[in-house]
Amino acid sequence: MLAVPGSARPGLSFLPPRKPWLFAFSRPGSWLYMRLLKIRWIETRNLDGLARLYRQMQDDRIRLILAFRHPHVDDGPVIFHLMASLVGREARRAGVKLRWAPRGYFLYGRDVPVWAGAYTAWAFPRMGGISVFPGAYDSGSIRATRRLLLEGRHPMALAPEGQVTYHNERVADLELGAAQLAFWCREDLRKAGKDADVLIVPVCTSYHYRDSDWEVLDRVISEAERRTGLLSPQEPEHPPYRRLMRLFWHIIRTAEEHYGRFYGIRFPEGQDDGRDALQARIHGVCDAALAVAEGAPWGKTTGDHLRRVLAVRRTGLAAIYRTDIDNPKRLPPLARALAARVAAESWLRLRHMELVDILEYLRADYLMPDSGIDRYVEYGLNLYDVVNRLMGGTIAGRGNPFTKRARIEVGEPVRVSSYEASYAEDRKRAMADMTKEILGRFRAVAEAG
């Protein structure tokens, strides 16, 4: 659990990307990091096609955007490993002669060093990282991204889902950012007198577990039950499905009681315990948590839960990491104390946002009694994480007790040139259509299991 900040902190300024020299040193390190993440084996599909696209990019014939799925907190390191090691290895195996060693650029949230460690603020810009402020127009990152795409030496990796979405086999709605960057890149190329096409390559990541992990799952469920005060069933035949659904209902009722008692929020009464009722109550808890997070002086935002989550995160981080104060320690004592109080209050509001950040993605109908080990592990870890967020934690406290097998599947690229005529007539519609095509390719892979 993170500590409540005792003072305001310097602002989260834009971290400009540097020459990615650290990428070369990261190749052997990325294999080791996969082991630290308990990824014991990586299965790849259609990677030879991506290696050939790298060669076309290095011949200045195309620009590449790798649009990857984001169901798991480990996706970023896995995609980095793909760019740092796997593509080069596949190119050698397939006889594709690359002009230079594969590297890449990637977008990451400017708040990542807050929970991932301050070292990332130094390392990521030197590994090809471009910091962006989630949910906000960020001119510095947009300029840097467009410049690097125009130069075209390396691909750009980003997650169109916007953030972790917690389900291997269900894809959340996509943001329009990948399509917008692709069209901008095409325009920039034309202005530079180049006719290179821009390709968005869908990359699906997923994670898979072993039958022996049922025992580990039992320990995860037991720990979540202990933390919530819910006694584990004594009957050995009590199946994991019943335990997980029992735990889910207990968590939701606990959250309802908390927000009702201390924040005066009223929830609909009802005894129905079906999946539809549970989903409605999940939605109600998300609304309640966001209502508390958006209280005065922040004000209620508009849009769906994701839009509201991003708005709360942006406002809260800005209140803790103050761009309007050069050095909070040099403020007069009164001003410093008031800034510290605002930072602490904002931190507490962000705890409600962190709950919704995972809870909004959970679906009551995702787990069935006959689901396989993969879905059971996902469900168990997600419910454990919901408990972690209710206790004041973030995604950093999610836990990683399972060894796993990662799968990377490269899809057929989406060519920007095929949407240019539509873009000339209606830019928003063209971006929506392109994003829909990417979503369709994601779902075709995800729903195949």
How high is the pLDDT of residue 237?
62
On whether both 23 and 169 belong to a single domain, the answer is: yes
Q: Which of 397, 414, 437 is the last residue of a domain?
A: 397
Is residue 5 in a domain? no
Is residue 6 in a domain? no
CB 47 within 8 A of CB 180: no
Q: How far apart are CA 385 and CA 359, in angstroms?
A: 9
How high is the pLDDT of residue 298?
63
On whether both 242 and 278 belong to a single domain, the answer is: yes
CA Rg value for the chain: 23
Number of domains in the chain: 2
On whether both 363 and 437 belong to a single domain, the answer is: no
User: Could you report the average pLDDT of every consecutive run of 10 residues in the chain (449 residues)?
Assistant: 76 82 80 93 96 97 97 95 95 96 90 82 90 79 94 95 94 94 96 96 97 95 95 73 96 97 89 86 96 78 88 91 90 95 94 96 95 97 97 90 96 95 96 97 85
How high is the pLDDT of residue 2?
57
On whether both 93 and 218 belong to a single domain, the answer is: no
- Tokens 């320690």 belong to residue: 329
CB 84 within 8 A of CB 26: yes
- Please give the residue range of the domain that contains residue 372: 213-397
User: Can you list the alpha helix ranges (DSSP code H) found in 270-304?
Assistant: 275-293
On whether both 407 and 391 belong to a single domain, the answer is: no
Is residue 2 in a domain? no
Is residue 9 in a domain? no
How high is the pLDDT of residue 27?
77
Is residue 132 in a domain? yes
On whether both 259 and 160 belong to a single domain, the answer is: no
On whether both 234 and 139 belong to a single domain, the answer is: no
Is residue 410 in a domain? yes
Is residue 295 in a domain? yes
On whether both 330 and 432 belong to a single domain, the answer is: no
Q: How far apart are CA 431 and CA 183, in angstroms?
A: 8
CATH of the domain at 158: 3.40.1130.10
On whether both 263 and 149 belong to a single domain, the answer is: no
On whether both 58 and 138 belong to a single domain, the answer is: yes
CB 320 within 8 A of CB 8: yes
Q: How far apart are CA 8 and CA 328, in angstroms?
A: 6
On whether both 279 and 362 belong to a single domain, the answer is: yes
DSSP codes of every residue in 31-64:
HHHHHHTTEEEEEEESHHHHHHHHHHHHTTSEEE
Is residue 172 in a domain? yes
Q: Which of 379, 397, 415 is the last residue of a domain?
A: 397
On whether both 265 and 145 belong to a single domain, the answer is: no
User: Can you list the alpha helix ranges (DSSP code H) found in 192-304?
Assistant: 214-228, 240-263, 275-293
